[in-house]
Amino acid sequence: MQFPEYRPRRLRKNANFRRMVCETRLTVDNLIYPLFVVTGKKVKKPIPSMPGNFQMSVDNIVLEAQRLKELGIPAVILFGIPDKKDEVASQALIDKGVVQTAIREIKAKAPDILVITDVCVCEYTSHGHCGIIEKGEVANDVTLEALSEMAVSHAKAGADMVAPSAMMDGQVGAIREGLDEAGFETLPVMGYSAKYASCFYGPFREAAQSAPAFGDRRGYQMDPANSDEAIREITLDVQEGADIIMVKPALPYLDVIRRAKEEFDLPLAAYNVSGEFAMIKAAAAMGWLDGERAMMESLTAIKRAGADMIITYFAPEAAEFLRRTGRGLNP
């Protein structure tokens, strides 16, 4: 096809043409909303670097889940912030832990929302690392035991899915084995399969109070320069029994999302992380770009790259936009 016989602008000249030939459609069904659960009652503490997001006590988490249900958002993912932290993340494993309590309350009062839980100890340890420390190092295999126990405790509380994010070798297999032995053979696992050591997690670490007290996480999270390694990591999760695979962050790693979509026949999630969210919010606040359009363009790009579901702090805003307009990007 060549000009002048072929003129691509013919199918762009009005909104209806553009709607008819649209190749990527973002819907509310693609969205998962992260929630930060804290102890106490009637707590709704704003997160300064993430406008519109809050640390919330369980009573307010339930109200938020009910609001999300009305918006049509199918799922939330819970991150817990305990009132006490220690070296071995003991608060992550107890029956009355903050996440376990939130799961039970959401399932009782907003049962149609899927509850996914983050399985990692970084929010629960006094040192902020994603594993148990032994001899000054994150001990992989000891951490697997804690992750498995944590996942089972979430399952017993009523979680619909668990999502291990610690980037410990063998974490999906250990959790799958633990769930199966506890009688939760049907509970799916979403693996944080390719999780990069990214600077874009900064606002999240404020929200989850999980910044490392020493060192960094490059010893277990992935090098941002590596793509082939991501495929090896995802392959391991698939072999260990992951039901859904994930790439995190999303926007700086669209090429990895595309590769994962092409190479694996499993549902694919992408995490549109806190720094990606914060950049758009900050630029919009300064009047440097249209925040709503930037939101939708970013989410559409993630979907176009191959993500079947997107974990995003934009979820309620995007759902409201889709309800108002009936479509994704303005035609």
Active-site annotation holder among 85, 107, 248, 281: 248
Task: Return the residue matching tokens 């049962």.
Answer: 111
Told to judge if 248 belongs to the known catalytic residues of this protein, a careful annotator would answer yes
Considering only CA atoms, which of 180, 192, 173, 174 is closest in space to residue 155?
180
Secondary structure (H, E, C), 121-178: CCCCECCCCCCCEECCEECHHHHHHHHHHHHHHHHHHCCCEEEECCCCCCHHHHHHHH
Please compute, for residue 166, the number of CA atoms within 13 A of its CA located in the half-sphere on the CB side: 35
Cβ-proximal residues to 198 (8 Å cutoff; 6+ apart), any chain: 221, 224, 248, 249, 252, 273, 275
Asked whether the beta carbons of 192 and 105 are under 8 A apart, the reply is: no
Active-site annotation holder among 195, 261, 281, 303: 195
Residues known to be catalytic: 195, 248
